[in-house]
Amino acid sequence: MPLRLHAGAVVTPPGAPYQANETVLRYNRDLVELFGGKLDEDLLRAGAQASHTQMADLLVERLPAGTATPDLVVLAAALPDLNPVRSVSAYLGLLTGGRADQCFSVTEQGLGAAFTALRIGAAHEKTGGAAVFLLAVLEQTTLPAHDPVVHDGVPLRDSGVLLLFDSGPGFGEVSAVTRLPDAALLGPRLAELTARASRPLAVAGPWTDPGAMPAGVACHRVPPGSYCTSVWTALAEHWTSWREEYDTLVLCDTDPRSDTAHVAVLERGR
């Protein structure tokens, strides 16, 4: 039976005081200089220090009691963690029952990481590899150097999302996940998907072109202030009300770094 959305949780972490870690500083310095930049410790100090570990703790506390134990945990992130040597996906697996056969992260794909993670979870179910899938989308904005996506325009806020999918009955069946190599293809793709969908809702991230939204189709537009977590935060917050009004959710966003577009379709299923 295909995976369907069962539970969601969202957090805006409070952060923590800055604590210098020489190992992490050396790592960040080497990484930034490798790409011709320079470590900015003042920028590090000014950040909220909201680690992926902190977000994982808070998110698991917010999951409804009695949720199923995942056998697959995938963490998606577009921005690096405060401490890059921690394996937070494995930690999430431990926090949620310790029965996951696989816990890993999808990174270096911009905001497409979460879409890739969802595609992986759905594929695992089809091959019998997962009956309960936990998707974590985490975004912390304390960085060792200036990043135009994070620091220019509307500043990004730290945020985290958990989405639990299982093979039981219900709403939110993952039916398609697509990467489009050019954001200009998003409008035609959305028009195609919504034209044949029952009671569709387009959930558009803040980076999408408003002109790409199909005419006459209900649309929820996520406000600026997030990168990778945008549409997933909206899904976790609103899916229980959306399932009463819509049969199809079409999540989409455009990556400002690569100008690629990403689309995920969740349906009521049978």
Q: What is the phi/psi pair of residue 158, to 5°?
A: -70, 135
44: Cβ–Cβ under 8 A, 6 or more apart, which residues? 18, 28, 142, 143, 144
Listed ranges 31-40, 62-71, 89-98; the one with the highest mean pLDDT: 89-98
pLDDT attached to residue 195: 96
Torsion angle in degrees (nearest 10) through CA of 184, 185, 186, 188: 120
pLDDT attached to residue 141: 97
What CA–CA distances, in Å, run from 14 to 10, 11, 41, 56?
13, 9, 21, 13
CA proximity to 111, closest of 71, 156, 151: 156
Query: DSSP letter at 223?
Result: P
Q: What is the CATH number of domain 4-166?
A: 3.40.47.10
How many residues would you count in the chain?
270
pLDDT attached to residue 126: 84
Q: What is the mean pLDDT of residues 188-204?
A: 97
pLDDT attached to residue 262: 99
The predicted-structure confidence for 51-82, as pLDDT tens digits, reads as follows 999 999 999 999 998 899 999 999 999 999 99
CA proximity to 253, closest of 217, 214, 202: 202
pLDDT attached to residue 73: 98
pLDDT attached to residue 270: 64
Do the Cβ atoms of 195 and 252 come closer than 8 Å?
no
Residue carrying structure tokens 């709403």: 171
* DSSP per residue, 120-160: HHHHHHHTTS-SEEEEEEEE----SS--HHHHSSSPP--EE
pLDDT attached to residue 168: 80
Q: Which amino acid is at 233?
A: T
DSSP count for the chain of H helices, then E strands: 8, 10
Q: What pTM was computed for the model? A: 0.96
The predicted-structure confidence for 221-255, as pLDDT tens digits, reads as follows 999 999 999 999 999 999 999 999 999 999 999 99
Do the Cβ atoms of 103 and 89 come closer than 8 Å?
yes
pLDDT higher at 134 or 196: 134
Map out the domains of the chain as residue ranges. 4-166, 173-267
The predicted-structure confidence for 127-171, as pLDDT tens digits, reads as follows 887 899 999 999 999 999 999 999 998 889 999 999 999 988 889
CA distance 78 to 98: 25
Kind of pairing between the strands at 72-76 and 102-106: parallel
Strand partners, 40: none
How many other C-beta atoms can be found within 10 angstroms of the C-beta atom of residue 263? Answer: 20
Per-residue confidence band for 177, with pLDDT thresholds at 50, 70 and 90? very high
